[in-house]
Amino acid sequence: MKSKQKKLNAAIVGYGYMGKIRKKIIETSSHMELVGICDTNKNSILADDSVKCKIYDSYEKLLKSKVDIIFVCTPNSFSPEIVVSSLKKGKHVFCEKPPGRTLDDVKMMMAAEKENPSLKLMFGFNHRYHPGILEAKTIVDGGRFGKILFLKGIYGKSGGKDYLQSWRNRKEISGGGILVDQGIHMLDLFRYFCGDFDEIKGFLSKMFWDSDVEDNAFVYLKNKEGQVATLHSSATLWKHTFKLEIFLEEAYLIVSGLLSKTGSYGRETLTFGRRQFEDESFALGNPREEIIYFDQDLSWTTEVEKFIECIFKDKKVENSSSYDALKVMELIDRIYRDETIIDGPIYKLKGEKIQ
Partner 1 sequence: MKNVVFNDMGREAEFKPDPIFKKYLKLTESDIKKEFKYKKQLKVSDCPACESRKNSKAFSKFGFQYVECQNCGTVYMSPHMEDSRIKEHFLNSQSIRFWRDTLSKATQDKRKEKIYNHRWQWINDTVEEYLSGDRNIADFNSKNMDYVIELLNNKYFNKKLIVNPYFNIEDVTDNDLKRKLSLASDPRNLFSNKNSINITTLFEVIDYTSDVDTLMKTTKNLLCKGGLCFITTISISGFDLQVLWENSRSIFPVDRINVLSQKGLELLFKRHGFEILEFSTPGVLDFDIVESEFKKHPDLPIPRFIRTVLARDDEQLKQDFQNFLQVNKLSSFARIVLRKK
**Nearest distance, CB of residue 276 and partner 1, angstroms:** 13
Q: Are strands 228-234 and 241-248 parallel, antiparallel or unpaired?
A: unpaired
> Which stretch of DSSP H or E encloses residue 132?
helix 131-142
Considering only residues 194 to 223 of the shown chain, the ones binding partner 1 according to CB under 8 A are none
60 or 289: CB nearest partner 1: 289
Mask for 254-293, x = binds partner 1 (CB under 8 A): ----------------------------------xxxxxx
**Nearest distance, CB of residue 278 and partner 1, angstroms:** 18
222 or 274: CB nearest partner 1: 274
267 Rama class: left (phi>0) / alpha (psi -120 to 50) / beta:
beta
**Nearest distance, CB of residue 140 and partner 1, angstroms:** 11
Among 172, 278, 295, 314, the residue binding partner 1 under the rule CB under 8 A is: 295
Q: Are strands 199-205 and 148-156 parallel, antiparallel or unpaired?
A: unpaired
Q: Does position 296 bind partner 1 by CB under 8 A? A: yes
Write 84-90 long-range contacts (CB < 8 A, 24+): 84/108, 84/109, 84/112, 85/59, 85/60, 86/59, 87/112, 87/113, 87/115, 87/116, 87/119, 87/121, 88/112, 88/115, 88/116, 89/63, 89/64, 90/116, 90/119
Across the beta sheet with 148-156, the strand order is: 269-274, 251-256, 241-248, 148-156, 228-234, 216-222, 199-205, 340-342
71/20 Cα distance (integer angstroms): 11
**Nearest distance, CB of residue 133 and partner 1, angstroms:** 14
What is the longest distance spanned by two Cα atoms in the chain?
A: 71
290 or 338: CB nearest partner 1: 290
46 or 291: CB nearest partner 1: 291
142 or 351: CB nearest partner 1: 142
Q: Hey, CA dihedral for 30, 36, 39, 41, is it positive or negative?
A: positive
Mask for 120-139, x = binds partner 1 (CB under 8 A): ---------------x--xx
**Nearest distance, CB of residue 121 and partner 1, angstroms:** 31
- CA torsion 278-282-284-286 (nearest 10°) is -150
**Nearest distance, CB of residue 291 and partner 1, angstroms:** 4
Mask for 89-108, x = binds partner 1 (CB under 8 A): --------------------
**Nearest distance, CB of residue 144 and partner 1, angstroms:** 6
101 or 128: CB nearest partner 1: 128
**Nearest distance, CB of residue 12 and partner 1, angstroms:** 31
Q: Does position 1 bind partner 1 by CB under 8 A? A: no
**Nearest distance, CB of residue 283 and partner 1, angstroms:** 9
Say how many Å lie between the first and final Cα of the chain, rounded.
Answer: 58
Number of residues counted as binding partner 1 (CB under 8 A) = 14
117 or 142: CB nearest partner 1: 142
278/264 Cα distance (integer angstroms): 40
118 or 296: CB nearest partner 1: 296
89/91 Cα distance (integer angstroms): 6
200 or 292: CB nearest partner 1: 292
118 or 138: CB nearest partner 1: 138
141/186 Cα distance (integer angstroms): 18
- CA torsion 245-298-128-201 (nearest 10°) is 60
**Nearest distance, CB of residue 294 and partner 1, angstroms:** 7
Q: Does position 144 bind partner 1 by CB under 8 A? A: yes
The residues binding partner 1 (CB under 8 A) are 135, 138-139, 142, 144, 288-296
